[in-house]
């Protein structure tokens, strides 16, 4: 029995050493980071920051591959079906948690087919409107929408974080209007500036240059607290709708069967990157906050987000056309 026990310990030691060795050898070739939104969108900007720092540390290129469309499910399908070896990663937004409600026939299971690596950031979406509209407050906007038919708001596609923000706002404000999906946030901003859209929600990093140049007015931010980047802009809860909160987070995932040693190594690398003063400064100046997390904590967070967003989508009867 003693002999058997010793042999078992030896076997476990060999397996553990092999696992550690695999993680230590990773990466030995370029990594593909797939992003489900267009180049220039806020999730793309933050994703490229992280990819650049990973490339610098490991001397292996982390190649960003933008695959926008269908609420990031086109990108998700590529990652879910990829070899689970740590060389195909998914950098996505809160839209990841909307997939079960909006795309029941998606070729993957959001919770089963992905391993969370780490949350990356937390940031508000900003309620924006053209200065030419004359609207100065969120309450004024709600009043105008209730009085006029055919009003429009834009977002970066059904199931995107900007769409979910707008749908929750619509429900809590008790308003009816036409939502217009776009390919990405840059196009939403352009049409809001020109007044083609009556209003929109967009990630704070994308909107700041437009707000500073007075091409757009910021009426409110979606998060529970005001943003340090826009300290004079109230939260939606403060401005008009008590209890309103929406966090437009970003995070990194891998295929679910990726070796745990690799997932942990990637999570530790993300934490290192987000701990760099220069990276943190580049993110916070865009109005976001860094939010590194363990794989286990991120998986639990995503499960809670799926449940919350599913309720919002079902309450609004939102379906993919």
Name which of 1-15, 24-38, 250-264 the model is least confident about.
1-15
Whether residue 288 is predicted with pLDDT greater than 80 in this model: the reply is: yes
d(CA 157, CA 17): 46
**The pLDDT of residue 20 is above 50:** no
Give the DSSP H or E segment for 178: strand 178-181
- Which residues have CB under 8 Å from 187's CB, separation 6+? none
- Average pLDDT value for residue range 126-145: 97
Top-confidence residue, 9 or 157: 157
pLDDT at 115 over 80: yes
**Stretch (H or E) spanning 24:** helix 2-25
Size (the chain), residues: 321
Q: Any bridge partners for residue 203, and if so which?
A: 125
pLDDT given for residue 3 in this prediction = 47
Per-residue pLDDT, 69: 83
Query: Taking the CA atoms of the chain, what radius of gyration do you get in angstroms?
Result: 21
* Mean per-residue pLDDT, 125-140: 97
The string over 50-85, giving b where at least 16 C-beta atoms fall within 10 Å of a residue's C-beta and e elsewhere, is bbebbbeeeeeebebebbbebbbbebbbbbbebebb
pLDDT reading at 8 higher than 70: no
Query: CB of 98 within 8 A of CB of 248?
Result: no
CB 152 within 8 A of CB 198: yes
Under 8 Å between Cβ of 115 and 161? no
- pLDDT attached to residue 24: 61
Q: How are strands ordered across the β-sheet holding 152-155?
A: 178-181, 152-155, 199-203, 125-129, 217-221
What's the confidence (pLDDT) of residue 17?
Answer: 43
Mean pLDDT value across residues 88-113: 94
What superfamily would CATH give domain 15-123+249-315? Bordetella uptake gene, domain 1 (3.40.190.150)
Residue 318 has pLDDT above 90, yes or no: no
Confidence band for 290, pLDDT divided at 50, 70 and 90 = very high
Check whether 189 has a pLDDT greater than 80.
yes
- In which residue ranges of the chain is CATH 3.40.190.150 found? 15-123+249-315
Say if CB 154 and CB 179 are below 8 A apart: yes
Closest-CA residue to 76 (of 49, 98, 47, 46) = 98
- Between 105 and 294, the more confident residue is 294
Distances (CA, A) of 261 to 36, 83, 237: 26, 16, 42
pLDDT more than 70, % of the chain: 92
| pLDDT tens digits, one per residue of 298-311 | 999 999 999 999 99
pTM: 0.83
In the chain, CATH 3.40.190.10 sits at 125-239
Q: 4-8, 137-141, 236-240, 288-292: which has the minimum mean pLDDT?
A: 4-8
Choose the weakest-confidence range: 11-15, 177-181, 198-202.
11-15
The pLDDT tens digits for 140-174 are: 999 999 999 999 999 988 888 899 999 999 999 99
Q: Which fold has domain 125-239?
A: D-Maltodextrin-Binding Protein; domain 2 (3.40.190)
């Amino acid at each position: 029995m003693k002999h058997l026990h010793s042999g078992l310990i030896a076997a476990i030691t060999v397996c553990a050493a092999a696992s550690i060795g695999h993680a230590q050898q990773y990466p030995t070739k370029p990594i593909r980071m797939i992003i489900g939104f267009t180049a220039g969108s806020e999730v793309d900007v933050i994703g490229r920051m992280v990819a650049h720092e990973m490339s610098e540390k490991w001397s292996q290129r982390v190649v960003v591959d933008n695959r926008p469309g269908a609420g990031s499910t086109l990108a998700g399908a590529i990652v879910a079906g990829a070899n689970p070896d740590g060389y195909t990663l998914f950098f996505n937004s809160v839209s990841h948690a909307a997939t079960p409600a909006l795309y029941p026939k998606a070729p993957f299971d959001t919770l089963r087919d992905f391993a969370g690596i780490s949350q990356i950031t937390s940031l508000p979406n900003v309620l924006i409107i053209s200065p030419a509209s004359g609207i100065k407050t969120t309450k004024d906007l709600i009043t105008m929408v209730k009085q006029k038919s055919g009003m429009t708001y834009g977002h970066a596609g059904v199931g995107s974080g900007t769409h979910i923000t707008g749908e929750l706002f619509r429900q809590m404000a008790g308003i009816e209007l036409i939502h217009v999906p776009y390919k990405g946030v840059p196009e939403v901003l352009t049409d809001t500036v020109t007044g083609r859209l009556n209003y929109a929600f967009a990630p704070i990093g994308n909107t700041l240059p437009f707000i500073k140049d007075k091409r757009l007015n910021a009426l409110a931010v979606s998060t529970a607290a005001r943003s340090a980047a826009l300290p004079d802009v109230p939260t939606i809860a403060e401005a008009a709708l008590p209890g309103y909160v929406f966090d437009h987070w970003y995070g990194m995932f891998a295929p679910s069967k990726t070796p745990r040693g690799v997932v942990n190594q990637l999570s530790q690398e993300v934490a290192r990157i987000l701990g760099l003063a220069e990276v943190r400064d580049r993110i916070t100046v865009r109005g976001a906050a860094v939010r590194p997390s363990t794989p286990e904590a991120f998986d639990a967070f995503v499960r809670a987000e799926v449940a919350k967003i599913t309720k919002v989508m079902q309450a609004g009867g939102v379906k993919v056309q």
